[in-house]
Each structure stands twice: as structure tokens, then as C-alpha cells.
Amino acid sequence: MAATKTKAAHNVFELAAPRVTPMGSAACLLEGEGPMCLPTQRRIWAVGRAAGDLKGVTDTQPGMNNLLVLYDPLATEPEALQAQLLALWIATPDTPAPGKLIELVVRYGGDGGEDLEEVARKKSMTPRQVAEMHSSAEYTVFAPGVIPGFGYLFGLPEPLFLPRRDAPVNRPLLLNVFIAGLQCNVSGPPVPGGPQVGPTGWYSLGQLIDAPAPFDLTRDPPGLVEPGDRIRFILDEVLE
Amino acid sequence: MSAPFLEVLATPALNSVQDLGRPGQRRWGIGPTGMVDALALQVGNALLGNAPDAAGLELQLFPVRLRVLRDGAIALTGADCDARLDGRPVPPWWALPVRAGQVLELSPPGATRRDLAAPALRACLSVAGGIDVPEVLGSRATHVRCAFGGLEGRALRAGDVLDAGAAQAPAFRDPAGFGALPPATALPLGDDPEATTVRVIPAAEYPAFTDASHAAFWNDPWRVTIQSDRMGMRLEGTTPLKRAVVQEMRSHGIVCGVVQVPPGGHPIIQLNDGNTAGGYPKMGVVIDPDLWRLAQLPPRRLLRFQRCDLAQARAAALEQEDYLAGLRRLSALSLMTPEAA
Amino acid sequence: MTKPSLTPAQLSTLAAEMRAHGITELDLRLPGGDRIRLKAPAPAAPVATAAVPPATSTPPAPSAQTIAAPGPGRLMFTHPARTQPAACPGDRVAPGDIVAWLAVESLISPVTAPAAGTLGAALAEEGALLGYGSPVFALVPEAAPTGPNQMS
């Protein structure tokens, strides 16, 4: 997919040069330059590993071609840390990151795929065409998700690009497959007594069937997927 | 060693065991959780001579009734809930000895007393030795969304029995206990008595917003809506915040206090149970030393943003550390250590 | 008259109430048929200000008639998280009830009633720096609950 075209076509955020900006008083955000792509993301992962060893850093979290770095403001100089991160970014080359392949079976549409028809309508496609296009691609786990799960996935076919909704809507959070922008993710998993729905600006295409638990505290490590892993969605059926 | 210390006689939903949170787990999509008013917990722990991160109870809905099962000590900080111990008033921001069989009762802030100096929302109950529940991924905080941590990964309910860590509670020089100067008094901020003020460092997308949005953000009061909980709070203002150039953003990690602006223009501030990542443009981020002020904002309360930089934020963090260090030093004088008692 | 209608303690309580509320004259008809008229010099000067001891003064010895500061500190009748005082002249208090606070830096200590009784006048001003034993409130102790009347 020609990622460079998306900027003009969809007005997607893109930086000409990398930058580090404060994220409040105890974190900062490193953002890579250029279009969203895998080589940039491999550098993000590498910088994330290295940044964890910097003085005062308490945690790091890759995003989509960006890296959140959390620190103890009384244990480091925030401005110096920002400069260090930028230098680290510039000095870090693209590093291969072999990941494992995970296959996830999806039932598109119906309950849990509430937005399939809306996406199809907006793209002048049938729901089945949307499902087939979505499941034709291989996705890379770019970053951890908003809660324990399968993370932020990169690799959405460009014709399925849709900006986030203007106002969040409530959607099921039961291992549902969502898309927004050029990203894809899977919500959940459900927890006993936990919320079954939540607000999101993303579009829900379907629901996983017989999915492996992405997070299990009795496992070590507890998470199933890590950045660099690849995911294939297997089309089970399309409910219209 | 720990032993049963408190029995929950009555509680509404959404009250839970919390500590200072669960850092270092973002690679699994696990956010901080923890006490929203982390300063209240640190004050309670300072008064009792606990470790700074000892777990306590976050109480955000009332009435709450608890029975003491064993002689010990507690501290009540955060929102003033007109607490009563066997009917006798307990002042806010207070530590005191308790005896087996006594019943502690907390009312909704402002419901039974009309003389609160400022509206408040969440109370914190600390116990000598800390609430003892198993650590999960390095923390005792309840992660309600993922159903782990705290007491069986869930909110408190009637019949629950909570263990406390200290085998021997500290002895008080005065049985009436002692207290802390509330943070609102010790660390005052802002000059609008009708609004709570917090300091904000502008974030990456700040320059993308219009001049009118910048002016409204800093100068207008923002009203907290009822769509507010431990995940975050939605705000309403007269001027929706708009970007001059609208672009589709990339998802990135976010922190407590981030002020995100969805396309509708009404900001959302992320709190402890919020998502670890987001993709809305950020006007700025409330500095960590002011997060406790957000924690005490009830719906309909007004909020004002005050611009701040990294150096000012660091000074604010140091000022808060000094306040806590002073409390730790002085409360040690009001407590007799178990060895000395 | 075989016994008085009011004990001295009760009379003192009434007097304290009158002072606290600026009442200059009180005409009471009691259940036994007796009538008591109490008069205060008018206009009443604000008692609290008159009674503020200079910071350097020797603290009077604590007595049953005074609630004293248990240690040094800045006097607060009103908790900083609240807008109303903990206790007012005329309030009945039980032993251990908190009637005021003393702040030392960021720490707050309680000023408690040593015995049951009725609070008399405030004997120091809000914000005053007190030393150990400085009087905070006058206290009219309750009459011994079961003892015989002192005047009989």
C-alpha cells in the first residue's frame, strides 16, 4: 500500500522532522518523522528498549510511530532527557524484529460488528467486500493497546481508511475488531463483572470467535502478543 | 504479618482498595489505576507512619459503614465526609486510634455538613500498616476493568473483611488523634473561589488549535459534567476548542491528566482508570502535583487551567514533597513507636 | 426555701450563654414556681478579644474552669477544610470532644474538653500563637451527676 499517498488523500498527521514534546510533568512523547510505516516502528521499539535504561525513566510505551517515555521528574532533568531521546532516535537504525504469527477467527457484522454496514456504505462497498478486504491483509502489532489485548495493529488496506468519529459512541468491548484511520485493533477481552461496552470513536467490524486469551496473569509473561508480532484475521462468516 | 482489621457493613458500588498505582506495566496495556487522590493517600500514610505507598480504601460513593475488628489506627483524608466513630465526630484529614467493635460511618461530602470550605468528591481511608491484599504485577490497586488487584479484583461490598498489615498499631500521645493541614490550605492555587485551578503544560498539538481556542482554554472556566468517573472527566465550556488544521492523528501513549479534545471541542481529562493510549489531539496535560485537585472535582464544579512550564511543575512537585516530608517528620512526634509505647 | 432552683454551675452556664450571644437580661420562670432575673453589664465588650493573652505572658495554670492548649501552636477554632467553628460558647461538651485545633507547620493537634460541661467564652483569638497551657475556652463543668446539691 502506498502510504505516502495517504497524506494528501486523507490529511493524515505527518512530521517532516522528529520531535520530543512534554506529556505533562512526568512524561514526554517522541514522534518519528515521515509516513506511518514498519521501518520507523522498528526504530521506535529499539529506542524504547534503550530509553528504559536512561536515568529517571520509569516506563516506556510504543505508540504508532511514536514513543511515550515516563520519568520521575525529581530523579532526572526533563529537558536533558528530551534532548537525549531525540539524539537516541537519530542514532538508532532500523533493526529487524522477528515476531510470531497469530491467527484470529472473525465473525463480521451482526452483534459486535455494529459498524460494518456503515463502513460499507461510506466506502461504497458491500459488507462482505469490507470483510474480505479487512481479512486479506497481514497486520503487525505496532503497540500495546489501551487495555490488555492484541494491541494496535498496522496494515489496514488503504481503501478502508476512515477518520475517527467526531463523538465517541458506545460499542461492545468483547474481543471486537475495530478500525480507524489506518489502524486496526481488537478490544477486550471481557472480564467477569466488568464493563461490556465502552465509548470509542472507532468502527466495529466484527467479533473474534474462540480467540486465545490475550492476557492471563497465570502466564509468564502474562501478555500473549508483543510489538513485532503479526496477526492474520480469518473470515468465518459475514452477518448482514 | 497481617490480620482482619475492617469489616464492610455497608457501601455503595465503586469503592475500592487502591495504592499509588501500578507503574511499569504499559507494555501489556495496563494503566496506572491507583488512588485518584494520591496525595490524600500519601498524607494518610504519613500521619500513620506507613510506607508512602501503603494501600488504603478509596471511597467515592456514600454512605459507608465499617466495623473495626481489632485495635489499631486509621486516617481519614480527602473529601470531608463528616465521619463518625461510634457517633463521635472525626475531623477531616485526621488520624486516630480505633478499638475493636467501633463503627465508622461516612456520609456524602456536603450532605450532612453545609460548611465545607470547598466541594470535594473522594475520601481516602488509610490504616496502620496498610490494607493487605495480594500484590498483582507489583501493586495492590484494584484494576476494575481487568478484574485483578485489590480485593478479588472488584469494588468493595457489604460483608467484605479487609486485612491490615501492622501487627501492632502506633500509639497516639493524644487519644483524640491528630491531623494534617489539608493540601488545599498548605498548597493553595488560583484566585477564583468558585473554581478549582490546575496547572497545565501545553502538549504536542497545542499549536494546532485556533487563537480563540487558546484564549478560551486559559481564560474560561470549564464545567465538570456528570460524565465523569475514575476513567476521566468530560468538561463543558462556552467555546468549543477547535484546531485550525484538522488531521487524522496517530495513537500514542497517554497519561493521567492529559486534556484531550475530541472533534466536538469539549475537552476530556484522563484519570487513573483511563486508557493507556489515545488518538485525540491534546491541548495540554495537568501536571502530576495537581492531579489531586482534579480528584476532588464533583460534577458541575468549575475548573480553570493555568499555564505552566517544566520548571514550574518541578517546583510544584518539590513543594508537595516538602509538605509530605514535614508531615512525616511531625507526625512521628505525635506517635509513640510500638517499642516505646 | 429548702433548696435553690439552680446550682451555681447552672447559673454560670447561663451567664456564659448570655455573654456568648450578647444577651444582657434574662427573666426565667422555673418549674418550681421560682423566678430568676439575670442582668449583664451592657453593652457587653467582646469577651474573646479582651481575654487574649500576650504571646509572652505566663500561661495560667490549667484549671477545671479552663480548656487549655495541650501544646504550642496556632489556634484554629474552625478547621481549615470547613467554614464553621468546631464548638461555640454555650455548647455542651463531653470529655475528649474536640473544641479547637492547634497547627504547627502542617500538623494539626486537637484541643479537647477535659471534662463534661458547657463551653464558656473563648479565651484566645483565632490565629493566635499559643504556648503549652494557654487558655482556649472557659468551661463550666457539669454538676456532679449523682451528688447532693452543693447548697443544701
A64: domain CATH number?
3.30.1360.40
Q: Please give the pLDDT value at position B337.
A: 56
Do C106 and B92 count as a contact with CB atoms less than 8 A apart?
Answer: no
Contact B68, B102 (CB under 8 A): yes
Tell me chain C's radius of gyration from C-alpha atoms: 17
- Collect all residues of chain A within an 8 Å Cβ-Cβ radius of residue B249: 13, 164, 181
Do B146 and A194 count as a contact with CB atoms less than 8 A apart?
Answer: yes
**Cβ burial, residue B28 (10 Å; 0-12/13-18/19+):** buried
**Distance from the B189 Cα atom to the nearest Cα atom in chain A, whole angstroms:** 17
Q: Please give the pLDDT value at position B86.
A: 98
Q: Which three cell numbers stand for residue A144?
A: 500495546
B215: helix, coil or strand?
A: helix
pLDDT bin (cut points 50, 70, 90) of residue C25 is low
Same domain, B96 and B69: yes
Do B314 and A147 count as a contact with CB atoms less than 8 A apart?
Answer: no
Q: Please give the pLDDT value at position C41.
A: 45
Low-confidence ranges of chain A (pLDDT < 70): 1-10, 193-194
CB count in 10 Å sphere of residue B195:
16
Residue that wins the pLDDT comparison between B98 and C7: B98
pLDDT tops 60 at residue B316: yes
pLDDT tops 90 at residue C60: no
Chain B (141-170) residues lying within 8 Å, Cβ to Cβ, of chain A: 144-148, 153-154
Q: What is the mean pLDDT of residues B276-286?
A: 95
Same domain, A17 and A38: yes
Do A22 and B278 count as a contact with CB atoms less than 8 A apart?
Answer: no
What average pLDDT does chain C have?
71
- Interface pTM (ipTM) of the complex? 0.95
Do B287 and A226 count as a contact with CB atoms less than 8 A apart?
Answer: no
For C47-141, CATH gives: 2.40.50.100
**Residues of the domain holding B237:** 195-308
**Residues of the domain holding A131:** 101-239
The 10s digit of each residue's pLDDT in A92-123 is: 999 887 899 999 999 999 999 999 999 999 99
pLDDT tops 60 at residue B76: yes
Helices B310-334 and B38-48: crossing angle in degrees, nearest 10, is 30
pLDDT bin (cut points 50, 70, 90) of residue B269 is very high
Q: Please give the pLDDT value at position B107.
A: 98
Which one of A79, A168, A191 has the shortest CB-CB distance to B262? A168
Give the pTM. 0.85
Do A149 and B29 count as a contact with CB atoms less than 8 A apart?
Answer: yes
Q: Inform me whether the C-beta atom of residue B181 falls under 8 Å from chain C C-beta atoms.
A: yes
pLDDT tops 90 at residue C49: no
Same domain, B112 and B22: yes
Same domain, B112 and B14: yes
Which of A76, A82, A146, A171 to probe by mutation at the B interface, max B CB count within 10 Å? A146
Q: Please give the pLDDT value at position B260.
A: 97
Give the distance, in angstroms, between the CA of residue C112 and the centroid of all CA atoms in the same chain. Answer: 12
Q: Please give the pLDDT value at position B148.
A: 94
Q: Please give the pLDDT value at position C32.
A: 47
Which of B174, B292, B327, B328 to probe by mutation at the C interface, max C CB count within 10 Å? B174
What percent of chain B shows pLDDT beyond 90?
89
- Collect all residues of chain C within an 8 Å Cβ-Cβ radius of residue B323: 106
Q: Please give the pLDDT value at position C138.
A: 96
Q: Please give the pLDDT value at position A103.
A: 96
Same domain, A130 and A32: no
Q: Please give the pLDDT value at position B239.
A: 96
Contact C136, C69 (CB under 8 A): yes
Contact B257, B227 (CB under 8 A): no
Backbone φ/ψ region at A48: left (φ over 0), alpha (ψ -120 to 50), beta: alpha
Domain count, chain B: 2
The 10s digit of each residue's pLDDT in B1-31 is: 689 999 999 999 999 999 999 999 999 999 9
Do B29 and A144 count as a contact with CB atoms less than 8 A apart?
Answer: yes
Same domain, A134 and A204: yes
Same domain, A229 and A146: yes
Q: Please give the pLDDT value at position A9.
A: 47
Q: What is the mean pLDDT of residues B58-84?
A: 97
Q: What is the mean pLDDT of residues B132-150?
A: 95
Give the separation between CA A144 and CA A60, rounded to whole angstroms.
11
Domain count, chain A: 2
Query: HEC states along B100-155?
Result: CCCEEEECCCCCCCCCECCCCCCEEEEECCCEECCCECCECCCECCCCECCECCEC
Q: Please give the pLDDT value at position C30.
A: 45
Single out the residue in A47, A63, A91 at which a domain terminates.
Answer: A91
Same domain, A105 and A132: yes
Q: Which chains touch C (3 or more CB pairs under 8 A)?
A: B
Q: Residue A150: inside a domain, yes or no?
A: yes
pLDDT bin (cut points 50, 70, 90) of residue C7 is very low
Same domain, B108 and B203: no
Do B248 and A19 count as a contact with CB atoms less than 8 A apart?
Answer: no
Residue that wins the pLDDT comparison between B230 and B165: B230
Q: Please give the pLDDT value at position B306.
A: 98
Backbone φ/ψ region at A7: left (φ over 0), alpha (ψ -120 to 50), beta: alpha
pLDDT tops 60 at residue C70: yes
Same domain, B151 and B50: yes
- The amino acid that residue B130 corresponds to is G
Which one of B146, B253, B310 has the shortest CB-CB distance to A61? B253
pLDDT tops 50 at residue C28: no
The 10s digit of each residue's pLDDT in C90-128 is: 999 999 999 999 999 999 999 999 999 999 999 999 999
- Collect all residues of chain B within an 8 Å Cβ-Cβ radius of residue C93: none
Q: Please give the pLDDT value at position A98.
A: 81
* Beta-bridge mates of residue B86: none
Do A13 and B255 count as a contact with CB atoms less than 8 A apart?
Answer: no
Do B288 and A24 count as a contact with CB atoms less than 8 A apart?
Answer: yes
Q: Inform me whether the C-beta atom of residue B82 falls under 8 Å from chain C C-beta atoms.
A: no
